[in-house]
Structure 1
Amino acid sequence: MGNALRFLRCSEPQTTADGGAGDVALGNHGVSSATVGVSALAQHLYHFEITSQVPDGLSAHVVSSNKAQSNWYKKLSKAWRESRPPPSTPQEASTLVIHTLQRHQLADVQGLLSFYGLPIPHSLNELPSEAPPVVEGLKFELHTLPVDGKTVPDGDGVNVYVNTTDSRESSLVPHEVHVAAVERSIARSQRNYTMADTLHKQIIDAGYRVLNINNEEILARKYRIRLRGIDAPENQQPYGKEAKEELVKIVDGNCLKILVFDEDRYGRFVGDVYCNSLFVQKRMLKKGLAWHYTAYDKRTQLEKWEKDARAKRIGLWASSNPEMPWEWRKNRRENRY
């Protein structure tokens, strides 16, 4: 099934006596763990591509026929294979199922999610529309620790921290940062807080920080993120405050998934930001709190979301002639105000 399911080729699903896909940790009511459910769904899709058979027990959870179920798995298999990156969390898998089967009966979609133990939203209609496909150029992916809303600088930027135990981060931590973190821990155990603070400053100056999360000290790397494809009003502009407040409301206290494509001249990483499967740039555009930054991004879906907000005259589009932030910055540089 290509790269999307390459991790399954070393561990194919078990089959039943009649050749159907085994339940892969399924019980009478589906899987007992949503994380297991992601793996089970991926394995069943891979098995369906080979055998054209849906998993046993699914009919007890849905209302449509076996023929209809085969149609679902054909669609889901294609969607999973084309997703970049493929779903890795229960929320992402749930979103893929819902968007792929959005024209099918609600009872079937809910039943399928239940079968795999995947999260079911209170209202399927409240789920965000699918984000634009990830294009070529993806450099790496970040999974952040919970974001502190107080560190959000404006409506199109966010500061995040990533645990250095992350597989990508662990090999990037400078030796002196590791040493300082260990020595700081020793200093704190000895109640030498002056030394501990000095060592922590060294860690912070290197772009890291020791965070206390749930009474656990975590060495984390700081990333400054610029939301790709949008430009929000500057804080001093009309609707700049509202744009920042909206972004804070979305990310505060939440972990983010960030697909990084570039680094700008200010040292910020430019990426697509997701919060609980919500595509953050979409929310900012549809709320009328950002422009589609066409000078750097040509995705038509972002353009559509901006046009929708313009047509409804919401947010900054309530003004007859709002000033574009890039023009505002240019005028400031040239002292035109």
Structure 2
Amino acid sequence: MGNALTFLYGKCCKPTTTDDSLGPHGVSAATVGVSALAHDLFNFEITSQVPEGLGRYVQSSRKAQANWYRKVLEAWKQAKPPPQTADEASRLVTEILKRNQKADVEGLLSFYGLPLPHTLVMPSTEAPVSLPEGILFEFQTLPVDPKAVADGDTITVYVSASEPVVASSVPKEVNLAAVQRSKAREKRNYPKADELHQKIIDSGYRVLNIQNEEVLARKFRIRLRGIDAPESQMPFGKEAQQGLLKIVQWKSLKVLVYGEDQYGRCVGDLYCNGTFVQEEMLKKGLAWHYLAYDKRMVLAKWEKEARKKRIGLWASSNPEKPWDWRKNNRRE
């Protein structure tokens, strides 16, 4: 239990005062508001129960409150280090719950005696943050379904509608259909819910169940930039597809998008838990460096290493290039 409390609490200070300005946890907000929240998050992870008394500060149901704690708990775990000051804790809560009602967010913060959003001093933005040259945008995917890996260089991913790159462009009719579907399911009107979901799917979106929470997400087809894997009907095509599958299945990916190809696919670099996916494919002999469309010499270097070791498709003395195979088959 001590280790779990440490990862939640970080180095939050202990109560050192007994003045009259005490919050609902009976401690000074200036000293242990962060620890009180961390304690309740730890308790929620064990019991799935939100604190008694929170309902006096917020308007939403206990089911909604549990959803808040689930989201904040996950973000708290991922923060390195976890929030150590009241301002840090307040920023984390405000960011994670930014799509919730303002009154509920402020009520939750008040319950722990944490600063309200309008009182926070935001971090300096003197150093502008920009994407590397050539990258149009980036996003984080939801876990990749194994069925979505078409071959060794193409996959289909879904991105949460709350991601910045998606949030501003979700059609109103899709959002409305998602809300109506949720209400239909609450009433056990599953045929109506299925009809609404098909409308969402036809618009390029889908409602996915992620850790028992329904998430509206947009569909993207991704073409891995800089590599060309054997087509499915070619020798080693199945091995290439399985190789990519092993890297990405059920993982969330970071995608850097450089453009769009003639088939409407996003052309991008993929990262999985910090690993550059194209590097893995080339080093394992599962793909060629696609020199005609990507001049990065490091890709050629990784292909050369695999050729030298005669691993993967390079175990064959003269494997057919996928671009040649496509050209020959188009003629036929």
Say yes or no: does 1:274 pair with 2:271: yes
Q: What's 1:326 paired with?
A: 323
Q: What's 2:175 paired with?
A: 178
Q: What's 1:35 paired with?
A: 79
Q: Report how far residue 191 of structure 1 moved.
A: 1.2
Evaluate the alpha carbon distance shift between residue 38 and residue 326 of structure 1 in structure 2; reply closer, same or farther with a 3 A threshold. farther
Q: What's 1:143 paired with?
A: 140
TM-score with structure 2 setting the length: 0.62
Structure 1 CA distance for aligned equivalents of residues 198 and 77 of structure 2: 41
The structure with the larger Rg is 2
1:155 match: secondary structure: coil
Structure 1 CA distance for aligned equivalents of residues 139 and 79 of structure 2: 19
Structure 2 CA distance for aligned equivalents of residues 262 and 244 of structure 1: 23
Q: Report how far residue 165 of structure 1 moved.
A: 1.0
2:79 match: secondary structure: helix
Structure 2 CA distance for aligned equivalents of residues 150 and 321 of structure 1: 31
1:263 to 252, 260, 265: 260
Contact preservation (8 Å) 2:141, 2:252: yes
Structure 1: segments with no counterpart, 5+ residues: 1-24, 26-31, 41-80, 86-133
Task: Report 1:43-58 matches (<5 A).
Answer: none
**Which residue identity lines up with residue 219 of structure 1 in the other structure?**
L
Evaluate the alpha carbon distance shift between residue 34 and residue 177 of structure 1 in structure 2; reply closer, same or farther with a 3 A threshold. closer
Say yes or no: does 1:217 pair with 2:197: no
1:142 match: secondary structure: strand
Q: What's 1:207 paired with?
A: 204
After superposition, the C-alpha distances for 1:116-139 in whole angstroms (9 at most, x for unaligned) are: xxxxxxxxxxxxxxxxxx5x2100
After superposition, the C-alpha distances for 1:262-320 in whole angstroms (9 at most, x for unaligned) are: 10011100000000000000000001110000010000000000011111111111111
The CA RMSD over aligned residues, in Å, is 2.2
Q: Report how far residue 36 of structure 1 moved.
A: 3.4
Structure 1 CA distance for aligned equivalents of residues 224 and 83 of structure 2: 30
Q: What's 2:314 paired with?
A: 317
Q: Report how far residue 39 of structure 1 moved.
A: 10
Percent identity over paired residues: 62
Q: What's 1:288 paired with?
A: 285
1:165 match: secondary structure: coil
Contact preservation (8 Å) 2:140, 2:253: yes
- Matched residues, number: 215
Evaluate the alpha carbon distance shift between residue 39 and residue 252 of structure 1 in structure 2; reply closer, same or farther with a 3 A threshold. same
Q: Report how far residue 195 of structure 1 moved.
A: 1.0
1:36 match: secondary structure: coil
**Which residue identity lines up with residue 172 of structure 1 in the other structure?**
S
Q: What's 1:3 paired with?
A: none
Structure 2: segments with no counterpart, 5+ residues: 1-33, 35-75, 85-126
After superposition, the C-alpha distances for 1:168-216 in whole angstroms (9 at most, x for unaligned) are: 2111100110111111111111111111111101100100000011111
Structure 2 CA distance for aligned equivalents of residues 84 and 295 of structure 1: 28
Structure 2 CA distance for aligned equivalents of residues 302 and 166 of structure 1: 30
Structure 1 CA distance for aligned equivalents of residues 247 and 130 of structure 2: 23
1:235 to 232, 237, 244: 232
Contact preservation (8 Å) 2:160, 2:218: yes
**Which residue identity lines up with residue 198 of structure 2 in the other structure?**
K
**Which residue identity lines up with residue 148 of structure 1 in the other structure?**
D
Evaluate the alpha carbon distance shift between residue 331 and residue 284 of structure 1 in structure 2; reply closer, same or farther with a 3 A threshold. same
1:154 match: secondary structure: coil
Structure 1 CA distance for aligned equivalents of residues 130 and 300 of structure 2: 21
Q: What's 2:102 paired with?
A: none
After superposition, the C-alpha distances for 1:133-158 in whole angstroms (9 at most, x for unaligned) are: x5x21000010111111211000011
Contact preservation (8 Å) 2:138, 2:165: no
After superposition, the C-alpha distances for 1:75-95 in whole angstroms (9 at most, x for unaligned) are: xxxxxx9x975xxxxxxxxxx
